[in-house]
Amino acid sequence: MEVSIPDLNQIYIPKRRRGSCSIQRREQIKEDTEPALQAASILIYLSKAVSDIEEKISNTRKRKTPPTKAPVRKKMLKKTEYPSTPEMSAGLRERIVEMGGSQIQLVVQKQLQHTDVSKNHGRLSLPINKLRFDFTTEEERRFLNEHDNKNKRGMNVVIVDDVGGESNICLKKWKIGSSDTYCLMTQWNALVEATGLRAGDHIQLWSFRKDEAQLCLALVKLGNW
């Protein structure tokens, strides 16, 4: 059998494209990096989603938090004058005499303000320039002007009320604003509660001396008018 051998010069051999390896390499790199890029994109998306959720939660909490209200200041009570200056009742006067009291005098008749019955203040203020007379002696005034450990000294006095109560209360002398002021303290809140005193009530404060020496006070709540 005769075998024919083709002429090699007549055979067309396609030329290899230059750079095919680099293209294949780039495609391989692309195939290798695509999963990483996809994972990175997912992580970025999740991070943004979490940030949005946290912001929404934060805004929700802010909305739920009630706004801080400024403290409400009570309006100044409209001052009214009591139509008369009643004398002390016979019953209270007899009670004082039975205690050994004398020199009964009216110290002040006033309308109670919010600060006079406030538990936070805890005192009845008696500006000296508004009193009918200064019910303390010179020796007592000198004592009240002294200091004890940088605090003004106070003296205990007996106070009676027109509902049958009797207790000890602390009397001090303070400077409030530009006025020298006597203040009844310590047991004042308890006395307010026991006698049912309210802002706007009119009261009288009387002074007397027990056994001609010890300072005492009498509190009278004036009736409605």
Q: Are the CB atoms for 191 and 159 separated by under 8 Å?
A: yes
3 state DSSP class of 147: strand
179 vs 184: CA distance, rounded Å = 16
Same domain, 99 and 165: yes
Inside any domain, residue 8: no
Same domain, 119 and 28: no
Which tokens in the block code for residue 138?
Answer: 């010179």
Same domain, 29 and 128: no
Same domain, 96 and 168: yes
Inside any domain, residue 204: yes
pLDDT of 161 > 80? The answer is yes
By DSSP bridging, strand 202-210 and strand 101-111 are antiparallel
Same domain, 106 and 200: yes
Domain end residue (candidates: 38, 59, 80): 59
Number of domains in the chain: 2
pLDDT tens-digit series, residues 167-208: 999 999 998 888 899 999 989 999 999 999 999 999 999 999
Inside any domain, residue 85: no
Torsion region of 89: left, alpha or beta (phi above 0 gives left; psi -120 to 50 gives alpha): beta
Same domain, 178 and 107: yes
Which tokens in the block code for residue 221?
Answer: 């709540």
pLDDT tens-digit series, residues 87-105: 999 999 999 999 999 999 9
Q: Are the CB atoms for 128 and 145 separated by under 8 Å?
A: no
Same domain, 99 and 52: no
3 state DSSP class of 185: strand
Same domain, 43 and 137: no
Inside any domain, residue 10: no
Q: What is the mean pLDDT of residues 66-92?
A: 78
Inside any domain, residue 6: no
Inside any domain, residue 42: yes
Of residues 81 and 16, more confidence is placed in 81
Domain end residue (candidates: 59, 80, 111): 59
Q: Can you give the pTM of this predicted structure?
A: 0.66
Domain end residue (candidates: 59, 82, 102): 59
Q: What is the mean pLDDT of residues 27-32?
A: 58
CA distances to 20, 47, 67 from 61, in Å: 61, 21, 12
Inside any domain, residue 167: yes
120 vs 114: CA distance, rounded Å = 10
pLDDT of 80 > 80? The answer is yes
Same domain, 176 and 102: yes
- CATH number for 98: 2.40.330.10
* pLDDT band (50, 70, 90) for residue 225: very low
What pLDDT does 140 receive? Answer: 96
Which of 17, 10, 13, 164 lies closest to 89, judged by CA? Answer: 164
Domain interval for residue 43: 24-59
Inside any domain, residue 5: no
